[in-house]
Amino acid sequence: MLESALRAQLVSTYAEMIRRGLNQGTAGNCSVRCSGTDTFLVTPSGMPLEAMTPQAMVLMNLSGRVLGEGKPSSEWRFHRDILEVRSEVNAVVHTHSVSATALACLRQGIPAFHYMVAVAGGHDIRCAPYALFGTQDLSTAALKALENRKACLLANHGLIALGSDLPQALGLAQEVETLAQQYLAARQIGEPATLSEAEMQQVFEQFHDYGYKENS
């Protein structure tokens, strides 16, 4: 996809995040890799949706340098680091969605209470330790929580979801938010039963046979 098309898709993805209630105001951010290069586009810092244009998206390289104009999201470091170390990932979505953030504020991840937890790539969805927003410490913590995973929570902060493209990353962010909402609802009644690793492995096998392909 051409850079111009990726710029437009990044704006529309951010708008869809707000439309779905995954973000409010200027919260959250997203990024996309520019195919065949060491560059990526990321949403700008503190810009409301109504001011966003394709031209306002910020182009950076994997060395962390802005190419051209604009101030990138304060969270550009974890976008850059994820895209640098995860070659299969081409898009990163970060939200402050209500239920996932509520769990993150408890510094708790999402266990295998429901088989759909497997869409994030593992037997659970981890919560990264707290680190100040916009710092390298936060990026390092996120990378650790994302090992062998496609999504994680960030303590006292929000969630990160990864994808091969922006629609896939956005879809996963929505799925994790739904799982967080279901998990919190179940906990109001009691402690949810969790699936064993063996049972979750059966889920992965069923996804493969069914053609699910982990949120594809």
Q: In terms of C-beta distances under 8 Å and separation of at least 24 residues, what long-range contacts does 32-37 make, across chains too?
A: 32/6, 32/90, 32/91, 32/92, 32/165, 32/166, 33/83, 33/89, 33/90, 33/91, 34/3, 34/6, 34/59, 35/1, 35/90
Tokens matching residue 5: 């098309």
Residues that are catalytic? 75
**Residue 35 has what DSSP assignment?**
T
Q: In terms of C-beta distances under 8 Å and separation of at least 24 residues, what long-range contacts does 177-182 make, across chains too?
A: 177/22, 177/95, 177/97, 177/98, 177/99, 177/100, 179/110, 179/114, 179/116, 179/117, 179/125, 180/97, 180/99, 180/100, 180/102, 180/103, 180/110, 180/153, 181/98, 181/99, 182/113, 182/114
Residue 113: its H or E element: none
